[in-house]
Amino acid sequence: MTRRLLRMFLALVLCTGVISCAVISTAAYAASPMAMVRAAHFSPDTPGVDVYLKKFSGGDTNLFVPNATYAGVSPYIQVKAGIYLVTMRPHGAAPSTPALLSWTLNAQAGLVYTIAGVGTGAARHGIVLHDELTQPPAGTGKVRVIQAASRAPKADVSAVNGPSLATNVSFTATTAYTQVPAGDWSLQAHSVHNPSLTTSQTVSIPSGSVTSVLLLDGKQGGLAIRTVLDGASAPVPPSGGVPAGGGGMASVISGHGRGGTGWKLPIMLISVSGLAVLAAVSRRRARSS
């Protein structure tokens, strides 16, 4: 009987240990609010770059996205909320190399951002876009236009037999999201000041999706259209060089989630349960004597 009671105690300790992990994880996440960020390369005359983030509150300059190339958009990555310095350097260059571009990101908890290098030559600069991942109702999709075509200082983008998605939108500007029926859409875009500078592309808008339509400089001249799914770009957890400070698990490691209270309930359960079992063992031994 004594062995059976001891086995029960050990099983209870294991069970409450699992409860401990769940409580600490919940507390840690609440104590470490996160934002989601992705990087984009919209500068046609800039070769591949490495994108770095560094928190203004201190820490190293950490690699965020390696070898970003023109028209590329990375997946979303979770980072701790805070103010960051964003820098772009030639791919493979040391972090101490002077940056091609640098700008600031104020990443707020619960919000979603795209950080992008845009423009050409001396006009090249960095921007921060505010993204929206809330999915629309089934049978519809949300669409916006990111105007990243330096050849068209202002541009119009519309769907054939459908709505206008962008009217007179300036280079580096982003439109609000428009809800449209899901399906294949034939899009047309042209420069406002040079209507002969035009392009068209058929794009697919999946049901329940959030999509960014990118207006870009074409590789062979002219303009180009491509799309990237925002709502379908799954976030990846911070790891390695991503400056997330250990991400949402930092307090789990240190035991300080919600001021350390995440540990108290499991420890109390273990202590009370252990005392009860040990008392039962003592009574059993006393009767046997």
Residue pLDDT, tens place only, 3-20: 554 454 444 444 444 333
Q: How far does Cα 200 stand from its chain's mean position? A: 30
Query: What is the bridge-based pairing of β-strands 49-55 and 82-90?
Result: antiparallel
* 156 strand-pairing partners: 190
Query: What is the bridge-based pairing of β-strands 140-148 and 210-217?
Result: parallel
Query: What is the bridge-based pairing of β-strands 34-42 and 77-80?
Result: antiparallel
What's the mean pLDDT in 229-255? Answer: 39
This prediction has a pTM of 0.68
Distant-in-sequence, close-in-space partners of 24: CB < 8 Å, separation ≥ 6:
251, 252, 255, 257, 262, 263
Assign a CATH topology to domain 134-230.
Immunoglobulin-like (2.60.40)
Write out pLDDT tens, residues 88-127. Answer: 999 999 998 999 999 999 999 999 999 999 988 888 999 9
